Amino acid sequence: MIENQKIRPAKVIGPLGEPLTLDTLPPPETTRWVVRRKAEVVAAVNGGLLNVDEVCSRYNLTVEEFAGWQRAIDRSGMPGLRVTRIQHYKSLYERQQKY
């Protein structure tokens, strides 16, 4: 019996519509996280290329940090990942929740 969790796709579609593979993901030693790189890593997890534990150990991230990236994309798309706009999108989301 084959477990579905062990079957991984060879590639997934990235945030800009390009194919992503393990080789095209940001390198493990990445320290400067621009919006595109964050979105690529989230797309890799959402597509099943990597799981959260693998991403956190590969990129030296905390689960909370990665979960924040996922929430930002779910709420505001790629622009929500911009560090300079976190407060703007946070207040916008809170206002939407009130109504």
How many CB atoms within 10 Å of residue 34? 13
Q: 15, exposed or middle or buried, with CB in 10 Å at 0-12, 13-18, 19+? A: buried
Mean pLDDT of 37-57: 96
Identify the pLDDT of residue 1: 41
**CA–CA dist 99, 94 (Å, integer):** 9
Check whether 62 has a pLDDT greater than 60: yes
Check whether 2 has a pLDDT greater than 90: no
pTM above 0.75, yes or no: yes
Amino acid letter at 77? G
Mean pLDDT of 55-75: 95
**Domain covering 11-81 assigned CATH 1.10.520.10 in the classification:** no
DSSP annotation string for 10-38: S-EE-TTS-EE-TTTSPPTT-----HHHH
